[in-house]
Amino acid sequence: MRVVSGIQPTGNLHLGNYLGAIVNWVRMQDEGECLFFLADLHAISMPYDRAELGRATREMAAALIAAGVDPERAILFNQARVPAHAELQWLLNGTARMGWLSRMTQFKDKSGKNREGASIALFAYPVLQAADVLLYRATHVPVGEDQKQHIELMRDIADKFNADTETETFVLPEPYIGVTAARIMSLRDGTAKMSKSDPSDMSRINLSDDAALVAQKIRKAKTDPEPLPETMDELAGRPEARNLVSIYAALSDVAPAAVLAEFAGKGFGAFKPALADLTVARLAPVSERFNALKQDAAAIDAILDSGSARAAALGAPVLADAYRALGLLSGR
Ligand code: TRP
């Protein structure tokens, strides 16, 4: 099993990224060979702050390491340090179809009413994502539900490339939806994903928040006056309550039903303090490592340099095969 996954360097990691993706990454290090990267090339597909990008990339790397990604075992790097990603994307642009990309919901969402003004990079985003994975002949890609369409697309690209060139250049990767793959929602609105772009900082728990702030955010989280029921089904119309139960379950690594077995009949006056204690206990060691490591830019750069060199070495033969399959005379 060879695992590849990426995350956009959008500044601080929050509880949603942590429980939704990173916890799975950490676990997968025991199951296969892992390559994890900061998707800084993807970040330029939308308006962004040039002065911030490098800082955000290092900070996200620090957050991943603090959360348990081990750069000795996993290969940790950023895309921009491995030119083969951009290079393979161009080769795959010959295979990807306009129609396929036009159907991608992420492009529709992110371009909104301004399709004509969207960048080519935003349109071609899933082709770069295909290159990210196909470059390493990865077998599994741990992602959230919202990325499943992109995995389907990379399979289509790999399949068509192999068929068109009559080669077996690429491996078709499988999505890997982790066991806990918890979808963590905003603390202010149980129907919206927890997100770093939410204007209210009270809507999310950041890895950099201290214990007092974490407790305050949970105390103030939106809820309802009803006690907790006995089954998850009964939480159907109560998205905020459901979210807090899911967070508790993910943090304690048990099923939501087990949480309800413990708290059924109790109100949020009892549940919230327990959730706050649990969250602080789980996140404190991670935030402590994060806050220390993010001061040390040189150490982070050294890790990314070494990860990039390892990634480049793994990708080089595949990229050379892709050039050859297409009939291009290249120096690779
Ligand atoms: N698009 C992914 C996201 O926003 C990030 C990403 C980029 C990625 N390249 C990838 C994920 C390759 C998995 C594999 O979450």
- Which residue shows structure tokens 């289509």? 156
The domains of the chain are located at 2-182+296-325, 209-292
> In the prediction, which pLDDT does 263 show?
97
> In the prediction, which pLDDT does 177 show?
75
Q: What separation in Å is there between the alpha carbon of 39 and the centre of ligand 1? A: 7
Identify the residue whose C-alpha is closest to ligand 1 atom 9.
129
Residue 57 and residue 50: Cα distance in Å, rounded? 11
Specify the ligand 1 atom closest to the Cα of 128. Answer: 9
User: Residue 20's pLDDT band (boundaries 50, 70, 90)?
Assistant: confident
Question: Percentage of residues in the chain with pLDDT exceeding 90?
Answer: 90
Q: What separation in Å is there between the alpha carbon of 252 and the centre of ligand 1? A: 26
Q: What separation in Å is there between the alpha carbon of 282 and the centre of ligand 1? A: 26
User: Residue 187's pLDDT band (boundaries 50, 70, 90)?
Assistant: very high
Neighbours of 105 (CB within 10 A): 10
Identify the residue whose C-alpha is closest to ligand 1 atom 13.
5
**Residues contacting ligand 1 via CB (< 6 Å):** 4-8, 39, 42, 129, 132-133, 141, 143, 147
> In the prediction, which pLDDT does 65 show?
97
Q: What separation in Å is there between the alpha carbon of 264 and the centre of ligand 1? A: 38
User: Residue 146's pLDDT band (boundaries 50, 70, 90)?
Assistant: confident
Q: What separation in Å is there between the alpha carbon of 142 and the centre of ligand 1? A: 9
Identify the residue whose C-alpha is closest to ligand 1 atom 15.
7
For domain 209-292, the question of CATH label 2.40.40.20 is answered with no
Mean pLDDT value of segment 277-284 = 96
Whether 266 is catalytic: no
Whether 217 is catalytic: no
What would be the CATH architecture of the domain defined by 2-182+296-325? Answer: 3-Layer(aba) Sandwich (3.40)
- Segment 84-118, tens digit of pLDDT: 999 999 999 999 999 999 999 999 999 999 999 99
User: Residue 181's pLDDT band (boundaries 50, 70, 90)?
Assistant: low
Among 110, 160, 222, 272, the active-site one is 110
Task: Answer yes or no: is pLDDT of 309 > 60.
Answer: yes
- Mutation to probe ligand 1, out of 2, 3, 7 (largest number of atoms < 8 A from CB): 7
More confident residue, 208 or 222: 222
Whether 193 is catalytic: yes
User: Residue 12's pLDDT band (boundaries 50, 70, 90)?
Assistant: confident
> In the prediction, which pLDDT does 259 show?
96
Task: Answer yes or no: is pLDDT of 123 > 70.
Answer: yes
Measure CA of the first residue to CA of the last residue in the chain; give whole Å: 27
User: Residue 179's pLDDT band (boundaries 50, 70, 90)?
Assistant: low
Name the helix (H) or strand (E) containing 318.
helix 297-325
Specify the ligand 1 atom closest to the Cα of 21. Answer: 15
Lowest mean pLDDT among 34-38, 70-74, 205-209, 321-325: 205-209
Secondary structure (3-state) at 76: strand
> Which candidate, 287, 301, 314, 292, places its Cα nearest to that of 75?
314
> In the prediction, which pLDDT does 281 show?
96
> In the prediction, which pLDDT does 178 show?
67
Long-range contacts of 42-47 (CB under 8 A, 24+ apart): 42/6, 42/8, 42/79, 42/125, 42/128, 42/129, 43/8, 43/9, 43/10, 44/121, 45/119, 45/121, 45/122, 45/125, 46/110, 46/119, 46/122
